[in-house]
Chain A
Amino acid sequence: MQIAMLHTRLRTEERLLLDAFESLGVNVKLVDLRTVVFDPSDPGAWARVDLALDRCVSLTASTTAVQVLEHFGVRCVNSSRTIEVCSDKLSTTLALARAQLPMPAVRVATGREAGLEAIESIGYPVVLKPTVGSWGRLVARVNDRDAAEAILEHRDTLGSVRQKIIYAQEHVDKPGRDLRVFVVGGIAVAAIGRRSEHWVTNTARGATAESVDLTSDLRALSQQAAQSVGADLCAVDLLECPRRGLLINELNHSMEFRNSIDTTGIDIPRLVAEHVVSLAGATHQGVSA
């Protein structure tokens, strides 16, 4: 069985995953995508790879490699489709809407005028975020029309073309934290709360992880969310709305978990490695049969 781990820089997570694979007695080939050239008409050594686990911190590197590898017939975790849907908040919203799962109200528009209308149809405070982004960057809470107009003007004159997509979301008055559920192979395995003084509760922005009960509601909703994007592995982020209860905010296809292992007492890298090995085993048998 051959498993490749696609990476750019190696974070703590990748080291933990390598250790987990090693403890299962499975050798994983590290592939630094910064050094790889693909020939779309010649799979070469990729023909012998049963599964590629994408652990790239760079979305561009991920989507490029996974697209080519799937073309070669390599099983990728996550799939290109899942990466595409999770990495774009509008695509995620559409997938959740299709599955009729609860989420904060969203309006989408392109252009300044329609953007302002989108924002005001939700009502202040409203949350604006880039459709493609992570670690809480450029996520903005807008309290009034002055601020909305300023952000729209800045986006228009200073932003990239992608910044012209106005993705406006209802602000959820959450209790000082959001929730994150890790879903591995369709099963919710662990949950944390991410708590911060700031309303943006990414651990990359200094929030701390706290333990929370993986209630049956939280479990069911997270599993449905993961299924709606076809994720083999993901972290589902949810907001606790005082009025509507649990709402799904977003899904992460290449989740970080270093702060969640001690908090939950769950060996997340081990569970990920076991699931990946079982998927690779199935592919391998399919090939040799």
Chain B
Amino acid sequence: MSITIEANCPECDAPVQPARRPLAGEILRCTQCSVELEVTSTEPFRLELAPEVEEDWGE
């Protein structure tokens, strides 16, 4: 049985379906409103607004 992984965007409520099996901590983008979302849990699949970029972030 295939299950659909889906949650709603906390910003615009659009359904968000990851293209592949999500990982905790992964960043996804809402296709509707473009906001950055972070996967905070995979079972159950949960999304939160990704934190704002901080001063010490980078590459």
In the bound complex, residues from chain B placing their C-beta under 8 Å from that of A135 are 57-59
In the bound complex, residues from chain B placing their C-beta under 8 Å from that of A10 are 23, 25-27
Task: Select B26's contact among A15, A134, A235, A256, beta carbons within 8 Å.
Answer: A15
Interface residues of B in 15-59 (CB under 8 A from A): 23-27, 38, 50-51, 54-59
B15 to chain A, nearest CB (A): 21
Most buried by B among A8, A10, A18, A252: A10
The count of chain B contact residues (Cβ–Cβ below 8 Å) is 14
Q: Which A residue's beta carbon lies closest to that of B58? A: A134
Task: Select A9's contact among B50, B55, B56, B58, beta carbons within 8 Å.
Answer: B50
- Residues A59 and B56 in contact, CB atoms below 8 Å apart: yes
- Residues B57 and A32 in contact, CB atoms below 8 Å apart: no
Interface on chain A toward B: helix, strand, loop, or mixed SS? mixed
In the bound complex, residues from chain B placing their C-beta under 8 Å from that of A59 are 56-58
Q: Given contacts A15-B23, A252-B59, are A9 and B38 in contact (CB under 8 A)?
A: yes
B18 to chain A, nearest CB (A): 11
- Residues A57 and B23 in contact, CB atoms below 8 Å apart: no
- Residues B25 and A7 in contact, CB atoms below 8 Å apart: yes
The count of chain A contact residues (Cβ–Cβ below 8 Å) is 24
- Residues A57 and B58 in contact, CB atoms below 8 Å apart: yes
In the bound complex, residues from chain B placing their C-beta under 8 Å from that of A252 are 58-59
Most buried by A among B27, B38, B50: B27
Rounded to whole angstroms, the CA-CA distance of A9 and B59 in the bound complex is 13
In the bound complex, residues from chain A placing their C-beta under 8 Å from that of B59 are 57, 134-135, 204, 235, 252, 254-256
5 A-B pairs within 8 Å (CB atoms) are namely A10-B25, A10-B27, A30-B23, A32-B25, A58-B57
- Chain B residues close to A by CB (< 8 Å): 23-27, 38, 50-51, 54-59
- Chain A residues close to B by CB (< 8 Å): 7-11, 15, 18, 30, 32, 34, 57-60, 132-135, 204, 235, 252, 254-256
